[in-house]
């Protein structure tokens, strides 16, 4: 049996499965952040990978996003849930709120943003809609009754430092709703692997510059995430239980799966 659905956990989300087996996976892009845990959530086989490593040893700009996604796909994963911690760029959002963004602005630099950077046919993929609409809908169904916002724009900064007040206002003026450090190139690498991918953002603080807020610390972010981790895990578990398996027609027709149709690739995918 192979897990068709994977979870990439971020800050404060280091474990999800119980009684899981660990799998070491080598990839053409090096090692993933940690060994992948494979276990059951209800009756569903799931793969879990801590984005920053088992002990949070990888800063956002050091995460090997290409290896992480390749490793998950090689185990059979075709659908990825990627919860993350974010700061709010608008005063209407506060700690504990959930956002299911439909857009992303990439402010990162120096990261490996594509699998197809070596010699071979040039690979261009569509990314106008960066998140899988099916998985976004699954988040929203599971979050019924919780403080969740449908749609929004995630601004991804390079980190590991937090934004200046001026940068925060700039991101907001660009249309940003929330800001984080790990959403890119994770989302685009998933698309390059024809995997369904969507994030759900847990707001831990107001970003500096939003209504005169003071600067936030990493400890405060982890504390806020820890306070809300229970409801987030419950929500993710519900998404896992209700998301169709790959054999289902809804998944077979998903545009994410068709992202590479008609494109000549320089190598075979796992």
Please, are residues 136 and 99 in contact by the beta-carbon 8 Å criterion?
Answer: no
Helix, strand, coil percent content, the chain, rounded in steps of 5: 25, 20, 55
Question: Does residue 261 have an active-site annotation?
Answer: no
Tokens at 120, concatenated? 């071979």
Residue 249 designated active-site: no
3-class secondary-structure state, position 200? coil
Cα within 13 Å of Cα(188), Cβ side: 21
Whether the Cβ atoms of residue 239 and residue 138 lie closer than 8 Å to each other: yes
Residues in contact with 57: Cβ distance below 8 Å, sequence separation at least 6, in sequence order: none
Angstrom distance (rounded) from CA 82 to CA 30:
21
CB atoms within 10 A of CB 270: 14
Determine which one of 102, 106, 207, 261 is catalytic. Answer: 207
Q: Which of 34, 102, 100 is nearest to 236 (CA)?
A: 100
**Of 4, 97, 106, 205, which is the active-site residue?**
205
| E strand or H helix at 120 | none
Total residues found in the chain within this entry: 270
Residues that are catalytic: 205, 207
């Amino acid at each position: 049996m192979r897990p068709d659905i994977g979870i990439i956990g971020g800050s404060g989300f280091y474990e999800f499965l119980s009684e899981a087996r660990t799998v070491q996976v080598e990839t053409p892009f090096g090692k993933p952040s940690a060994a992948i845990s494979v276990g059951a959530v209800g009756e569903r086989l799931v793969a879990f990978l801590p984005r920053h490593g088992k002990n949070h040893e990888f800063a956002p700009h050091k995460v090997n996003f290409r290896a992480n996604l390749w490793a998950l796909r090689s185990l059979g994963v075709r659908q990825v849930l990627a919860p993350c911690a974010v700061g709010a760029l608008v005063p209407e959002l506060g700690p504990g709120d959930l956002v299911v963004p439909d857009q992303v602005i990439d402010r990162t630099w120096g990261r490996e943003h594509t699998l197809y950077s070596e010699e071979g046919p040039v690979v261009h993929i569509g990314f106008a809609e960066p998140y899988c609409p099916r998985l976004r809908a699954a988040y929203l169904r599971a979050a019924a009754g919780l403080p969740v916002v449908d749609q929004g724009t995630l601004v991804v900064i390079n980190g590991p430092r937090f934004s200046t007040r001026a940068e925060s206002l700039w991101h907001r003026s660009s249309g940003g709703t929330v800001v984080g450090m790990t959403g890119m190139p994770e989302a685009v690498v998933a698309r390059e692997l024809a995997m369904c991918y969507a994030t759900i953002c847990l707001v831990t603080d107001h970003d500096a510059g939003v209504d005169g807020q003071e600067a936030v610390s990493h400890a405060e972010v982890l504390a806020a995430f820890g306070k809300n981790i229970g409801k987030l895990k419950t929500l993710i578990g519900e998404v896992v239980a209700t998301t169709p398996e790959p054999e289902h027609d809804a998944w077979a027709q998903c545009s994410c799966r068709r992202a590479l149709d008609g494109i000549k690739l320089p190598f075979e995918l796992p």
